[in-house]
């Protein structure tokens, strides 16, 4: 078993707080490492390193900052197999899924290579007599990111890549459950040419989070996690005068219309509902068949597919999904399935008692499928974050749309149909930040932004895309007039362009 360390000032720094947390291998249930939990003093040390390094980094022109991103993409691509194995070992997702985690993060880094274009301001010559006006985007200073366990490569890259490309320094506080990949990514950024101190990684719990939220050296906070904590982080950060973007839970619906290609819909639902053991904020956890005949056809095809899903080791190329992240989370998901039964939902497939032969201490659970789920049930209202799909029947399209809109979360929603008018109406009217039309998990590509609506988000700007460059910079506007031989005297009227 190894002891992990923080990454501060371009090197690994052992924890000094005396507090540690075990990092598990979900396949076996064994402890594979100890991670230090940073004290507030250690967080302040990381912030001080970032504050000291940021001005020189901000003075590097955007083209050269982009070259660091280019080299980082090359290095991570070279190291992707080793990173994927490390990620799978510590998180539990399959290696194929881990590669996708890394690749989707790299796509945002690739987008950030366009920083010279994305950071351009505007210019107006002769906006008024002898007056020119131009705007510029300037770095904030130091930003921090608090990331969840479920995407230990992708979400850190979604945060630190645009911040660093903008000229900011960055403090990353990854999940203490699987911090090894974020630490390795920071080392690879140094290899790519990033100066020490521009990217720091501190492992920690609430003490570290609160230290980041309260430190005057941190100008902005980005967060992804549960809604309760997202609201807490947003409230405390903004109360301290910081810019904040905080993303919370999701309960993503997939509406299946009577004219849908049912084979396509079932394939999509199985992959989006059970992939990565349901530990995705964009997982489809609610299927909404429209009409009783649609529901019957869906369940006739869906039930056998769910029963035959292969739960396996993270290293098994034929496995559909692997174990959950921890014993605590395994118990939580099992309890939700039991709750659904007690609430009166019909449990068609029960995965609670699944055991992996030879790995009985691993955090494995099989897939579960509920029918006849009602909107008042907790298994419908709350994010389970496991391989559990609920079927909520709707009599017609109007009722299906109203069901989606009434939910407190609004990350993503999808519709499966052959009718262009229904798809267009759904995309226009549904109250969700990301919409799929015959696409189950509508996660936008890197050059669009990612973010939900309602209580799935706190803050005005989304992740990646152009919003990231807005979030991690300040706009400054300059109005300029050079002296001439003509003196007009003092003018006490409010200035206009007339």
Residues assigned a catalytic role = 281
| CA atoms of 8 and 69, how far apart (whole Å) | 20
Token code pair at residue 141: 């200073």
| CA atoms of 345 and 244, how far apart (whole Å) | 39
Is the separation of the CB atoms in 163 and 472 below 8 Å?
Answer: yes
How many CA atoms does the CB half-sphere of 256 hold within 13 Å? Answer: 29
| Phi, psi for residue 228 in degrees, rounded to 5 | -60, -45
Residues in the chain: 498
Q: At CA 7, angle to CA 66 and CA 47, rounded to 5?
A: 80
Cβ neighbours for 287, distance < 8 A, ≥ 6 positions apart: 253, 254, 256, 269, 273, 298, 302, 389, 390, 391, 392
| Phi, psi for residue 154 in degrees, rounded to 5 | -65, -55
How many CA atoms does the CB half-sphere of 279 hold within 13 Å? Answer: 26
Alpha-carbon dihedral sign for residues 455, 460, 465, 468 = negative
Helix/strand/coil for 177: coil
| CA atoms of 475 and 206, how far apart (whole Å) | 32
| CA atoms of 250 and 404, how far apart (whole Å) | 12
């Amino acid at each position: 078993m190894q002891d992990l360390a923080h990454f501060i000032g371009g090197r690994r720094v052992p924890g000094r707080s005396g507090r540690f947390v075990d990092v598990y291998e979900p396949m076996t249930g064994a402890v594979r490492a100890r991670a230090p939990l940073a004290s507030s003093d250690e967080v302040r040390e990381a912030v001080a390193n970032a504050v000291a390094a940021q001005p020189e980094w901000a003075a590097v022109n955007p083209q050269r900052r982009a070259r660091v991103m280019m080299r980082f993409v090359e290095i991570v691509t070279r190291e992707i197999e080793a990173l994927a194995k490390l990620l799978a070992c510590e998180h539990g997702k399959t290696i194929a899924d881990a590669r996708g985690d890394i690749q989707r993060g790299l796509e945002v880094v690739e987008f950030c290579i366009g920083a010279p274009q994305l950071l351009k301001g505007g210019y107006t010559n002769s906006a008024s007599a002898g007056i020119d006006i131009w705007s510029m985007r300037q770095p904030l200073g130091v930003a921090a990111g608090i990331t969840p366990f479920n995407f230990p490569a992708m979400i850190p890259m979604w945060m630190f890549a645009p911040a660093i490309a903008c000229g900011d320094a960055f403090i990353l506080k990854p999940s203490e459950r699987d911090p090894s990949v974020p630490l390795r990514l920071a080392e690879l950024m140094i290899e790519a040419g990033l100066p020490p101190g521009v990217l720091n990684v501190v492992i920690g719990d609430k003490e570290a989070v609160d230290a980041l939220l309260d430190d005057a050296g941190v100008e902005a906070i980005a967060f992804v996690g549960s809604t309760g904590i997202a609201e807490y982080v947003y409230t405390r950060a903004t109360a301290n005068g910081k810019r904040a973007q905080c993303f919370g839970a999701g309960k993503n619906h997939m509406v299946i219309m009577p004219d849908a290609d049912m084979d396509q819909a079932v394939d999509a639902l199985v992959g989006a509902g059970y992939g990565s053991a349901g530990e995705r904020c964009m997982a489809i956890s609610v299927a909404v068949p429209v009409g009783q005949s649609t529901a019957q056809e869906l369940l006739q095809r869906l039930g056998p597919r769910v029963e035959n899903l292969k739960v396996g080791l993270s290293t098994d190329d034929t496995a559909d999904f692997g174990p959950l992240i921890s014993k605590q989370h395994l118990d939580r998901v099992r309890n939700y399935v039991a709750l659904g039964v007690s609430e009166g939902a019909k449990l068609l497939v029960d995965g609670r008692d699944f055991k992996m032969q030879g790995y009985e201490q691993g955090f494995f659970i099989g897939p579960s499928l509920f029918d006849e789920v009602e909107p008042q049930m907790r298994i419908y209202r709350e994010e389970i974050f496991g391989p559990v799909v609920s079927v909520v029947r709707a009599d017609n399209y109007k009722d299906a749309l109203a069901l989606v809109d009434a939910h407190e979360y609004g990350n993503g929603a999808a519709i499966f149909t052959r009718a262009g008018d229904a798809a267009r109406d759904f995309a226009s009217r549904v109250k969700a930040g990301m919409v799929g039309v015959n696409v189950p998990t509508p996660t936008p590509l890197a050059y669009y932004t990612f973010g939900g609506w309602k209580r799935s988000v706190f803050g005005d700007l989304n992740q990646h895309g152009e919003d990231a460059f807005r979030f991690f910079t300040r706009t400054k506007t300059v109005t300029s007039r050079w002296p001439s031989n003509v003196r007009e005297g003092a003018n006490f009227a409010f200035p206009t362009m007339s």
